[in-house]
Structure 1
Amino acid sequence: MSDRPSPLYGLLLSGGASQRMRQDKAALSYRGEPQLLRAWRLLERFTERHFLSVRDHQRGDPMRAGLPQIVDGYEAIGPAAGILSAQDRFPDAAWLVVACDLPLLDERTLQQLVDARDAAADATAFASRHDGLPEPLCAIWEPSSHALLKQRHDAGSYCPRKALMQSRLVLLPAPGDALDNVNTPEERAEMQHRLEYPA
Protein backbone atom coordinates (compact mmCIF):
# COMPACT_ATOMS: atom_id res chain seq x y z
CA MET A 1 0.00 0.00 0.00
CA SER A 2 1.35 3.44 -0.94
CA ASP A 3 2.28 5.96 1.73
CA ARG A 4 1.43 8.77 -0.66
CA PRO A 5 -1.54 10.85 0.55
CA SER A 6 -4.73 10.77 -1.46
CA PRO A 7 -4.78 13.30 -4.28
CA LEU A 8 -6.30 16.62 -3.31
CA TYR A 9 -9.26 17.65 -5.44
CA GLY A 10 -11.22 20.88 -5.11
CA LEU A 11 -14.96 21.28 -4.65
CA LEU A 12 -16.58 24.70 -4.87
CA LEU A 13 -20.05 24.56 -3.33
CA SER A 14 -22.44 26.63 -5.43
CA GLY A 15 -25.71 24.73 -5.15
CA GLY A 16 -27.29 26.62 -2.26
CA ALA A 17 -30.77 28.05 -2.64
CA SER A 18 -29.67 31.53 -1.41
CA GLN A 19 -33.12 32.02 0.12
CA ARG A 20 -32.07 34.70 2.62
CA MET A 21 -30.11 36.61 -0.03
CA ARG A 22 -33.04 36.40 -2.47
CA GLN A 23 -30.58 36.07 -5.36
CA ASP A 24 -27.81 33.69 -6.35
CA LYS A 25 -24.93 34.31 -3.91
CA ALA A 26 -22.43 32.82 -6.35
CA ALA A 27 -23.22 35.56 -8.89
CA LEU A 28 -22.74 38.45 -6.46
CA SER A 29 -19.88 40.68 -7.53
CA TYR A 30 -17.13 41.81 -5.18
CA ARG A 31 -14.24 43.92 -6.43
CA GLY A 32 -15.74 43.71 -9.91
CA GLU A 33 -15.83 39.91 -10.21
CA PRO A 34 -18.55 37.33 -9.52
CA GLN A 35 -17.75 35.56 -6.28
CA LEU A 36 -18.02 32.12 -7.91
CA LEU A 37 -15.27 32.90 -10.44
CA ARG A 38 -13.02 34.49 -7.84
CA ALA A 39 -13.35 31.45 -5.55
CA TRP A 40 -12.78 29.11 -8.50
CA ARG A 41 -9.47 30.79 -9.37
CA LEU A 42 -8.35 30.41 -5.75
CA LEU A 43 -9.25 26.72 -5.68
CA GLU A 44 -7.39 26.02 -8.92
CA ARG A 45 -4.09 26.98 -7.31
CA PHE A 46 -4.22 24.26 -4.68
CA THR A 47 -5.88 21.18 -6.18
CA GLU A 48 -5.07 18.64 -8.88
CA ARG A 49 -8.59 18.65 -10.24
CA HIS A 50 -11.46 20.96 -9.33
CA PHE A 51 -15.22 20.77 -9.66
CA LEU A 52 -18.24 22.93 -9.14
CA SER A 53 -20.93 21.41 -6.93
CA VAL A 54 -24.34 22.13 -8.48
CA ARG A 55 -27.91 21.00 -8.29
CA ASP A 56 -29.41 19.48 -11.42
CA HIS A 57 -31.33 22.61 -12.50
CA GLN A 58 -28.13 24.72 -12.29
CA ARG A 59 -26.12 22.68 -14.80
CA GLY A 60 -26.87 24.94 -17.76
CA ASP A 61 -26.56 28.24 -15.91
CA PRO A 62 -24.26 30.41 -18.07
CA MET A 63 -21.84 31.16 -15.24
CA ARG A 64 -21.57 27.49 -14.23
CA ALA A 65 -21.89 25.66 -17.55
CA GLY A 66 -18.28 26.13 -18.62
CA LEU A 67 -16.78 24.62 -15.46
CA PRO A 68 -16.38 20.93 -14.57
CA GLN A 69 -19.36 19.96 -12.44
CA ILE A 70 -20.47 17.36 -9.94
CA VAL A 71 -24.25 17.30 -9.74
CA ASP A 72 -25.80 16.60 -6.34
CA GLY A 73 -26.92 13.00 -6.15
CA TYR A 74 -28.80 13.60 -2.90
CA GLU A 75 -31.96 15.50 -2.09
CA ALA A 76 -31.67 19.15 -1.03
CA ILE A 77 -29.93 18.57 2.30
CA GLY A 78 -27.50 21.47 2.13
CA PRO A 79 -23.72 21.29 1.76
CA ALA A 80 -23.55 17.63 2.78
CA ALA A 81 -25.17 16.77 -0.57
CA GLY A 82 -22.28 18.30 -2.47
CA ILE A 83 -19.59 16.73 -0.30
CA LEU A 84 -21.16 13.26 -0.40
CA SER A 85 -21.72 13.46 -4.17
CA ALA A 86 -18.06 14.36 -4.73
CA GLN A 87 -16.89 11.55 -2.45
CA ASP A 88 -19.14 9.08 -4.24
CA ARG A 89 -17.70 10.07 -7.62
CA PHE A 90 -14.02 10.03 -6.57
CA PRO A 91 -13.84 7.93 -3.40
CA ASP A 92 -10.03 7.84 -3.32
CA ALA A 93 -9.60 11.62 -3.38
CA ALA A 94 -9.39 14.06 -0.52
CA TRP A 95 -11.52 17.15 -1.06
CA LEU A 96 -10.65 20.76 -0.40
CA VAL A 97 -14.20 22.02 0.04
CA VAL A 98 -14.89 25.75 -0.24
CA ALA A 99 -18.19 27.61 -0.08
CA CYS A 100 -18.81 30.25 -2.73
CA ASP A 101 -19.95 32.94 -0.25
CA LEU A 102 -16.60 33.79 1.37
CA PRO A 103 -15.53 37.11 -0.18
CA LEU A 104 -12.56 37.53 2.20
CA LEU A 105 -11.08 34.09 1.59
CA ASP A 106 -7.55 34.46 0.25
CA GLU A 107 -4.60 32.44 -1.00
CA ARG A 108 -2.74 32.68 2.31
CA THR A 109 -5.64 31.10 4.20
CA LEU A 110 -5.94 28.19 1.79
CA GLN A 111 -2.17 27.71 1.82
CA GLN A 112 -2.28 27.49 5.62
CA LEU A 113 -5.00 24.84 5.41
CA VAL A 114 -3.17 22.77 2.79
CA ASP A 115 0.13 23.01 4.67
CA ALA A 116 -1.52 21.72 7.85
CA ARG A 117 -3.24 18.80 6.12
CA ASP A 118 -2.84 15.47 7.90
CA ALA A 119 -3.89 12.67 5.57
CA ALA A 120 -4.07 10.29 8.55
CA ALA A 121 -6.90 12.36 10.04
CA ASP A 122 -10.45 12.43 8.72
CA ALA A 123 -10.33 16.15 8.06
CA THR A 124 -8.42 19.38 8.51
CA ALA A 125 -10.42 22.51 9.28
CA PHE A 126 -10.30 25.95 10.82
CA ALA A 127 -12.10 26.89 14.01
CA SER A 128 -14.83 29.47 13.66
CA ARG A 129 -13.86 32.85 15.07
CA HIS A 130 -17.42 33.16 16.39
CA ASP A 131 -17.89 29.95 18.38
CA GLY A 132 -14.65 27.94 18.08
CA LEU A 133 -16.40 25.05 16.31
CA PRO A 134 -14.94 23.58 13.09
CA GLU A 135 -15.75 25.32 9.82
CA PRO A 136 -16.83 22.58 7.38
CA LEU A 137 -17.04 24.76 4.26
CA CYS A 138 -13.38 25.68 4.06
CA ALA A 139 -11.87 22.34 5.01
CA ILE A 140 -10.08 19.29 3.68
CA TRP A 141 -12.17 16.12 3.86
CA GLU A 142 -10.10 12.95 3.58
CA PRO A 143 -11.56 9.76 2.06
CA SER A 144 -11.96 8.33 5.57
CA SER A 145 -14.51 11.04 6.41
CA HIS A 146 -17.04 9.56 4.01
CA ALA A 147 -18.23 6.71 6.22
CA LEU A 148 -19.39 8.93 9.08
CA LEU A 149 -20.88 11.58 6.79
CA LYS A 150 -22.86 8.90 4.93
CA GLN A 151 -23.89 7.20 8.17
CA ARG A 152 -25.20 10.48 9.53
CA HIS A 153 -27.01 11.18 6.25
CA ASP A 154 -28.71 7.80 6.35
CA ALA A 155 -29.82 8.57 9.91
CA GLY A 156 -31.32 11.89 8.81
CA SER A 157 -28.54 14.14 10.15
CA TYR A 158 -27.21 16.48 7.48
CA CYS A 159 -24.94 18.89 9.36
CA PRO A 160 -21.34 18.61 8.12
CA ARG A 161 -20.07 20.61 11.11
CA LYS A 162 -21.39 17.99 13.53
CA ALA A 163 -19.77 15.29 11.40
CA LEU A 164 -16.43 17.05 11.78
CA MET A 165 -16.96 17.31 15.52
CA GLN A 166 -17.27 13.51 15.66
CA SER A 167 -14.22 12.91 13.44
CA ARG A 168 -10.46 12.63 13.88
CA LEU A 169 -9.87 16.27 13.16
CA VAL A 170 -6.92 18.63 12.78
CA LEU A 171 -8.41 21.90 14.05
CA LEU A 172 -6.54 25.08 13.18
CA PRO A 173 -6.99 28.47 14.85
CA ALA A 174 -9.49 30.78 13.19
CA PRO A 175 -7.85 32.72 10.32
CA GLY A 176 -9.11 36.15 11.34
CA ASP A 177 -12.13 37.22 9.29
CA ALA A 178 -11.19 35.23 6.15
CA LEU A 179 -14.14 32.86 6.55
CA ASP A 180 -16.82 35.48 7.19
CA ASN A 181 -19.69 34.62 4.89
CA VAL A 182 -22.51 36.65 3.38
CA ASN A 183 -26.10 35.42 3.59
CA THR A 184 -28.39 38.46 3.47
CA PRO A 185 -28.62 41.73 1.52
CA GLU A 186 -27.65 43.57 4.69
CA GLU A 187 -24.53 41.43 5.16
CA ARG A 188 -23.65 41.97 1.51
CA ALA A 189 -23.87 45.76 1.90
CA GLU A 190 -21.67 45.57 4.99
CA MET A 191 -19.13 43.38 3.15
CA GLN A 192 -19.02 45.73 0.18
CA HIS A 193 -18.27 48.58 2.58
CA ARG A 194 -15.50 46.58 4.27
CA LEU A 195 -13.87 45.83 0.91
CA GLU A 196 -14.12 49.42 -0.33
CA TYR A 197 -13.02 51.02 2.92
CA PRO A 198 -10.70 48.58 4.70
CA ALA A 199 -9.77 49.47 8.25
Structure 2
Amino acid sequence: MAGESGVTASAWTGVVLAGGHSSRMGRDKAYLHWRGQPLIEHMQALLTAAGASQVLVSGPYPQYGAVADVAAGLGPVGGLISIAAAAPDGLLVIVPVDMPRLTPALLRNLAAAPDAACTCYAGHVLPLRLRLERRSRDVLDGLRSAARSGRSLRALHAALGGTEMALTGHAAGELENCNTPEQWQEISR
Protein backbone atom coordinates (compact mmCIF):
# COMPACT_ATOMS: atom_id res chain seq x y z
CA MET A 1 0.00 0.00 0.00
CA ALA A 2 1.38 3.40 -0.89
CA GLY A 3 1.52 6.25 1.58
CA GLU A 4 1.29 9.93 0.77
CA SER A 5 4.87 9.89 -0.52
CA GLY A 6 4.05 7.11 -2.96
CA VAL A 7 6.57 4.73 -1.35
CA THR A 8 5.22 1.23 -0.87
CA ALA A 9 5.99 -0.85 2.21
CA SER A 10 7.60 -3.43 -0.09
CA ALA A 11 10.10 -0.91 -1.48
CA TRP A 12 12.47 -0.09 1.34
CA THR A 13 16.18 -0.06 2.08
CA GLY A 14 17.66 -1.58 5.18
CA VAL A 15 20.46 0.24 6.99
CA VAL A 16 22.88 -1.22 9.54
CA LEU A 17 24.49 1.45 11.72
CA ALA A 18 27.90 -0.05 12.49
CA GLY A 19 30.27 2.91 12.69
CA GLY A 20 30.65 3.26 16.45
CA HIS A 21 33.83 2.84 18.43
CA SER A 22 32.50 -0.01 20.64
CA SER A 23 34.42 1.59 23.52
CA ARG A 24 32.20 0.16 26.27
CA MET A 25 32.40 -3.31 24.69
CA GLY A 26 36.18 -3.16 24.41
CA ARG A 27 36.17 -4.71 20.93
CA ASP A 28 34.37 -4.14 17.65
CA LYS A 29 30.73 -5.21 18.11
CA ALA A 30 30.28 -5.74 14.37
CA TYR A 31 32.56 -8.78 14.57
CA LEU A 32 31.02 -10.42 17.65
CA HIS A 33 29.68 -13.83 16.63
CA TRP A 34 25.95 -14.47 16.85
CA ARG A 35 24.75 -17.91 15.83
CA GLY A 36 27.86 -18.62 13.79
CA GLN A 37 28.34 -15.33 11.97
CA PRO A 38 29.54 -11.80 12.74
CA LEU A 39 26.79 -9.46 13.98
CA ILE A 40 27.24 -7.24 10.92
CA GLU A 41 26.37 -10.17 8.64
CA HIS A 42 23.52 -11.27 10.90
CA MET A 43 21.96 -7.81 10.77
CA GLN A 44 22.32 -7.63 6.98
CA ALA A 45 20.64 -11.03 6.64
CA LEU A 46 17.92 -10.01 9.07
CA LEU A 47 17.02 -6.93 7.02
CA THR A 48 17.01 -8.99 3.82
CA ALA A 49 14.76 -11.61 5.45
CA ALA A 50 12.42 -8.81 6.54
CA GLY A 51 12.02 -7.66 2.93
CA ALA A 52 14.63 -4.97 2.32
CA SER A 53 15.22 -4.47 -1.38
CA GLN A 54 18.84 -3.59 -0.55
CA VAL A 55 20.92 -3.26 2.61
CA LEU A 56 23.43 -0.49 3.28
CA VAL A 57 25.99 -0.49 6.09
CA SER A 58 27.50 2.59 7.70
CA GLY A 59 31.02 2.53 9.07
CA PRO A 60 34.58 1.46 8.27
CA TYR A 61 33.79 -1.91 6.67
CA PRO A 62 34.78 -1.83 2.99
CA GLN A 63 34.54 -5.63 2.81
CA TYR A 64 30.78 -5.19 3.36
CA GLY A 65 30.45 -2.34 0.85
CA ALA A 66 29.90 0.04 3.75
CA VAL A 67 29.50 3.78 3.48
CA ALA A 68 32.25 5.41 5.54
CA ASP A 69 31.33 8.32 7.79
CA VAL A 70 31.78 11.64 6.01
CA ALA A 71 32.51 13.33 9.34
CA ALA A 72 34.01 11.62 12.38
CA GLY A 73 32.62 11.88 15.89
CA LEU A 74 28.96 12.43 15.07
CA GLY A 75 27.73 9.08 16.40
CA PRO A 76 24.74 7.31 14.83
CA VAL A 77 23.56 10.60 13.29
CA GLY A 78 26.89 10.80 11.45
CA GLY A 79 26.38 7.32 10.07
CA LEU A 80 22.90 8.24 8.93
CA ILE A 81 24.14 11.50 7.36
CA SER A 82 26.66 9.44 5.37
CA ILE A 83 24.01 6.94 4.28
CA ALA A 84 21.68 9.80 3.26
CA ALA A 85 24.44 11.27 1.10
CA ALA A 86 24.83 7.94 -0.71
CA ALA A 87 21.18 6.86 -1.00
CA PRO A 88 18.29 8.10 -3.12
CA ASP A 89 15.07 9.32 -1.57
CA GLY A 90 12.89 6.53 -0.24
CA LEU A 91 11.99 4.54 2.82
CA LEU A 92 14.76 3.39 5.17
CA VAL A 93 14.51 0.91 8.04
CA ILE A 94 17.52 1.48 10.26
CA VAL A 95 18.93 -0.98 12.80
CA PRO A 96 21.99 -0.88 15.05
CA VAL A 97 24.62 -3.58 14.60
CA ASP A 98 24.22 -4.63 18.23
CA MET A 99 20.56 -5.74 18.41
CA PRO A 100 20.76 -9.44 17.48
CA ARG A 101 17.38 -10.53 18.86
CA LEU A 102 15.42 -8.45 16.36
CA THR A 103 13.13 -10.53 14.18
CA PRO A 104 12.09 -10.10 10.57
CA ALA A 105 8.44 -9.81 11.72
CA LEU A 106 9.19 -6.82 13.95
CA LEU A 107 11.03 -5.09 11.10
CA ARG A 108 8.30 -5.89 8.54
CA ASN A 109 5.76 -4.41 10.95
CA LEU A 110 7.82 -1.22 11.22
CA ALA A 111 8.34 -1.00 7.45
CA ALA A 112 4.59 -1.34 6.89
CA ALA A 113 3.68 1.31 9.49
CA PRO A 114 1.38 4.12 8.40
CA ASP A 115 3.35 6.63 6.37
CA ALA A 116 5.08 9.18 8.56
CA ALA A 117 8.37 11.02 8.28
CA CYS A 118 9.91 9.00 11.10
CA THR A 119 8.59 6.08 13.19
CA CYS A 120 10.01 3.94 15.98
CA TYR A 121 8.69 1.61 18.65
CA ALA A 122 7.54 3.25 21.90
CA GLY A 123 10.48 3.77 24.22
CA HIS A 124 13.09 2.77 21.61
CA VAL A 125 14.66 5.00 18.99
CA LEU A 126 16.00 1.98 17.07
CA PRO A 127 14.95 0.32 14.91
CA LEU A 128 13.82 3.43 13.08
CA ARG A 129 11.70 3.90 9.97
CA LEU A 130 12.74 7.07 8.13
CA ARG A 131 11.31 8.56 4.98
CA LEU A 132 14.43 9.96 3.31
CA GLU A 133 13.44 13.07 1.39
CA ARG A 134 14.32 16.75 1.29
CA ARG A 135 12.87 17.54 4.72
CA SER A 136 14.62 14.68 6.52
CA ARG A 137 17.87 15.48 4.70
CA ASP A 138 17.59 19.11 5.85
CA VAL A 139 17.03 18.02 9.46
CA LEU A 140 20.03 15.67 9.25
CA ASP A 141 22.17 18.50 7.86
CA GLY A 142 21.08 20.68 10.78
CA LEU A 143 21.99 17.97 13.27
CA ARG A 144 25.49 17.78 11.81
CA SER A 145 26.31 21.14 13.38
CA ALA A 146 24.20 20.75 16.54
CA ALA A 147 25.81 20.54 19.94
CA ARG A 148 26.60 16.97 20.94
CA SER A 149 23.73 16.92 23.45
CA GLY A 150 21.27 17.80 20.68
CA ARG A 151 22.74 15.53 18.00
CA SER A 152 20.91 12.24 18.31
CA LEU A 153 18.42 9.98 16.61
CA ARG A 154 15.91 11.09 19.25
CA ALA A 155 16.47 14.69 18.13
CA LEU A 156 15.92 13.61 14.52
CA HIS A 157 12.69 11.82 15.50
CA ALA A 158 11.45 14.87 17.41
CA ALA A 159 12.38 17.36 14.68
CA LEU A 160 10.45 15.32 12.12
CA GLY A 161 7.39 15.01 14.38
CA GLY A 162 8.01 11.30 14.56
CA THR A 163 5.43 8.75 15.60
CA GLU A 164 5.73 5.73 17.90
CA MET A 165 4.23 2.30 17.53
CA ALA A 166 3.14 0.20 20.48
CA LEU A 167 5.05 -2.96 21.30
CA THR A 168 3.08 -6.13 21.88
CA GLY A 169 3.83 -9.22 23.94
CA HIS A 170 7.47 -10.23 24.17
CA ALA A 171 8.63 -7.83 21.45
CA ALA A 172 10.47 -5.58 23.94
CA GLY A 173 12.99 -8.39 24.46
CA GLU A 174 13.79 -8.27 20.76
CA LEU A 175 14.92 -4.66 21.14
CA GLU A 176 17.72 -5.31 23.62
CA ASN A 177 21.11 -4.18 22.45
CA CYS A 178 24.54 -4.98 23.78
CA ASN A 179 27.00 -2.25 24.65
CA THR A 180 29.09 -3.99 27.32
CA PRO A 181 30.62 -7.46 27.73
CA GLU A 182 28.07 -8.14 30.47
CA GLN A 183 25.13 -7.24 28.21
CA TRP A 184 26.63 -9.41 25.45
CA GLN A 185 26.91 -12.38 27.81
CA GLU A 186 23.29 -11.91 28.89
CA ILE A 187 21.98 -11.64 25.34
CA SER A 188 24.09 -14.60 24.19
CA ARG A 189 22.52 -16.99 26.71
TM-score normalised by L of structure 1: 0.80
Deviation at 1:93, TM superposition (A): 2.5
Q: Distance in 1 between matches of 2:5 and 2:75?
A: 34
Q: Distance in 1 between matches of 2:176 and 2:105?
A: 15
Q: Distance in 2 between matches of 1:168 and 1:3?
A: 16
C-alpha distance 117-37 of structure 1, shift in aligned 2 (>3 A): farther
The answer for unaligned runs of 5 or more in structure 1 is 60-64, 129-133, 194-199
RMSD of the alignment, in Å? 1.9
C-alpha distance 3-44 of structure 1, shift in aligned 2 (>3 A): same
SS in 1 for 2:120: strand
Cα deviation, 1:75-102, whole Å, max 9, x if unaligned, reads 2211101111111222413221111100
The answer for unaligned runs of 5 or more in structure 2 is none
For the pair 1:102 / 2:102, whether they are aligned, the reply is no
Q: Distance in 1 between matches of 2:152 and 2:46?
A: 25
Aligned to 2:31: 27
Deviation at 1:28, TM superposition (A): 1.0
Identity of aligned residues (%): 27
Q: Distance in 1 between matches of 2:52 and 2:188?
A: 29
Deviation at 1:103, TM superposition (A): 1.5
Q: Distance in 1 between matches of 2:13 and 2:108?
A: 14
Deviation at 1:44, TM superposition (A): 1.7
Aligned to 2:164: 171
Aligned to 1:125: 120
Aligned to 1:162: 155
Matches within 5 A, 1:58-73: 58-59=61-62, 65=63, 67-73=64-70
TM-score normalised by L of structure 2: 0.84
C-alpha distance 83-42 of structure 1, shift in aligned 2 (>3 A): same
Q: Distance in 2 between matches of 1:155 and 1:77?
A: 10
For the pair 1:43 / 2:47, whether they are aligned, the reply is yes
Q: Distance in 1 between matches of 2:112 and 2:158?
A: 21
